[in-house]
Amino acid sequence: MPELPEVETIARQLRGLIVGRTIAHFRSDWRRLTEPEPADLFAARLAGRAIRGVRRRGKLVVMDLDDGEALIVSLRMTGQLLFREKEVEAHPYRRAHIAFTDGTALEFADTRKFGRMAIVDATALDGATHAPRRVGEPLHRFLGVEPLSRAFTVRWLRDFLARRGRSAIKPLLLDQTGIAGVGNIYDIEALWRARIHPLRTAGSLADDEVGRLHEALRWVLRKGIRYGGATRRDYRDARGKEGRMQREFNVYDRAGDPCPRCGAEIVRTVVGGRGTFHCPRCQRLPRGAARPARSRA
């Protein structure tokens, strides 16, 4: 689940838990975690470094080190960063372990092994819209605007949608190079709130719809943060707790349930290869628009 609200929750917790601590050592036996850098070199670069701050950029957890570098973590599907006050039995899917000099530790658990870590130039993440890049390294791609920042205005969104006018709105919102941090769940919930069909093309949205989408994105992301993120399967926050946002879903994973707004039955389709939920009455596709022919029930 780690989308923007889940990552923000973890980053905020870690800020209070690890800032000021010094790394004693880093251990990992999952080589792809730090690729292309070998884990032992990675460990050597981290040893003795202090954690100066923790923040979020898109779906990345950013741990600022001294010397202007940062340790960034991409949780992907099932990654968890768990703070440990003292020695505990290793998580069954532990992929890395960061021990601090005072005996506390940060454990990285990840069942599906999609998670990645890198040490990067921290300034490259600051305020800029570029993440550091290194050829072939998935963490280092271009990241778009932060949807909860002041830079994300209705005007920006309108221009963005116009530029990418031919794309369907649902997969477009998932593109991290446009808006950074939106994942499948909040995408679906925001489109429902804005009453926009997932297959509408970006360029076809009227001004009032763009305004609603802008409000809806910020509203669902903020609510997700307020509720500590959403738990689906493996999500746990930095304290090992589940979020509460999953109880607040209006359409996500609710096929067959009545729409909370109009009572029509929520349907599940597939858009851009992703499971998608919407209300067929509240979220209409205009006559003559692309039919959801490629979607499957």
Partner DNA sequence: GGCGATGTTTCCCC
Partner DNA sequence: AGGGGAAACATCGC
Contacts with DNA, residue ranges (CB under 7 A): 1-3, 32, 58-59, 74, 76-78, 93, 111-114, 136, 138-139, 141, 164-168, 171-172, 174, 176, 183-185, 231-235, 271-275, 294, 296
Q: Shortest Cβ distance from residue 239 to DNA (Å)?
A: 16
Q: How many residues does the chain have?
A: 297
Distance of CA 224 to the CA centre of its chain: 11
Complex with DNA: residue 33 or 99, whichever CB lies closer: 33
Complex with DNA: residue 2 or 147, whichever CB lies closer: 2
Complex with DNA: residue 100 or 269, whichever CB lies closer: 269
Q: Shortest Cβ distance from residue 115 to DNA (Å)?
A: 9
Residue with tokens 């305020």: 127
Is residue 2 part of the annotated active site? The answer reads yes
The C-alpha atoms of residue 222 and residue 93 are separated, in whole angstroms, by: 30
Nearest of 41, 45, 49 to residue 24 by alpha carbon: 49
Q: Please spell the DSSP secondary structure of 245-270, one letter per residue.
A: GGGG-SSTT-TTSBPTTT-PBPEEEE
Complex with DNA: residue 21 or 59, whichever CB lies closer: 59
The DSSP code for 124 is G
Q: Shortest Cβ distance from residue 203 to DNA (Å)?
A: 9
Strand partners, 267: 278
The C-alpha atoms of residue 170 and residue 205 are separated, in whole angstroms, by: 12
Is residue 223 part of the annotated active site? The answer reads no
Is residue 215 part of the annotated active site? The answer reads no
Complex with DNA: residue 104 or 177, whichever CB lies closer: 177
Question: Pairing between strand 274-278 and 94-100?
Answer: unpaired
In the set 21, 59, 170, 195, the catalytic residue is 59
In the set 12, 164, 274, 284, the catalytic residue is 274
Longest dimension (CA), the chain: 65
Is residue 59 part of the annotated active site? The answer reads yes
Q: Shortest Cβ distance from residue 22 to DNA (Å)?
A: 29
Q: Shortest Cβ distance from residue 177 to DNA (Å)?
A: 8
Q: Shortest Cβ distance from residue 24 to DNA (Å)?
A: 28
The C-alpha atoms of residue 193 and residue 278 are separated, in whole angstroms, by: 10
In the set 2, 147, 198, 292, the catalytic residue is 2
The C-alpha atoms of residue 235 and residue 102 are separated, in whole angstroms, by: 27
**Residues 122, 124, 130, 135, Cα dihedral to 10°:** -90
The C-alpha atoms of residue 273 and residue 91 are separated, in whole angstroms, by: 32
Complex with DNA: residue 51 or 271, whichever CB lies closer: 271
Q: Please identify every residue annotated as catalytic.
A: 2-3, 59, 274
